[in-house]
Amino acid sequence: MSNAAATEKQIPTALIIVGAGLWVLAGFMGYGVRGASNALAAVGLIATVNVVLMIAGAFLTALVLRISFGDLQSAILKLGAIALFPGAVGYLIPGAGGLIALALYFSLLIWFFELEVYQAIVFTIVLFVIRLLVAAMFV
């Protein structure tokens, strides 16, 4: 399989599985078996909402910057990996975990979608605004 094919499906799928596993591990470390099962349920729900918001962010960013995030199925898989993996790694690393998660987030965004740094920053800002608007709807 080519490197492009691995980037499209295999690597994002592996990162989703590892990310979910790390969140379950974090739940287990904090609260035992019950925490692990609760973490798995929460991760599924949060990841789904996050990916939906990220898709909206990708569409808006693509419109503003006239760029492409690729086909929808591939983009969903990649955004799922970006939604799960960096946060899980960051959560499990005390101290500098937030910075490591941020670096992973931007690195994966740039790598998976072949974005320039400014494009990744614009996407992140658009996503932040979308999340604020959605949060404001529920307050």
Geometric angle at alpha carbon 13, from 84 and 67, rounded to 5°:
80
Task: Give the range among 29-33, 64-68, 82-86, 120-124 with minimum mean pLDDT.
Answer: 29-33
User: Which pLDDT score, from 0 to 100, does residue 34 have?
Assistant: 77
Better-predicted residue by pLDDT, 114 or 44: 114
User: Which pLDDT score, from 0 to 100, does residue 2 have?
Assistant: 65
Better-predicted residue by pLDDT, 7 or 138: 138
Rounded to the nearest 5°, which phi and psi values hold at 68?
-120, 140
Residue carrying structure tokens 């608007």: 133
Tell me, letter by letter, the H, E, C secondary structure of 82-114. Answer: HHHHHHHHHHHCCCCHHHHHHHHHHHHHHHHHC
User: Which pLDDT score, from 0 to 100, does residue 42 have?
Assistant: 83
Structural Rg of the chain based on CA atoms: 15
Kindly report, residue by residue over 93-127, the tens digit of the pLDDT.
989 999 999 999 999 999 999 999 999 999 999 99
Average per-residue pLDDT in the chain?
Answer: 90
Q: With DSSP H G I counted as helix, E B as strand and the rest as coil, what are the percentages for the chain, rounded to 5? A: 90, 0, 10
Q: Which residues contact 132 (CB under 8 A, 6 or more apart)?
A: none
Upper half-sphere CA count for residue 115 (Cβ side, 13 Å): 25
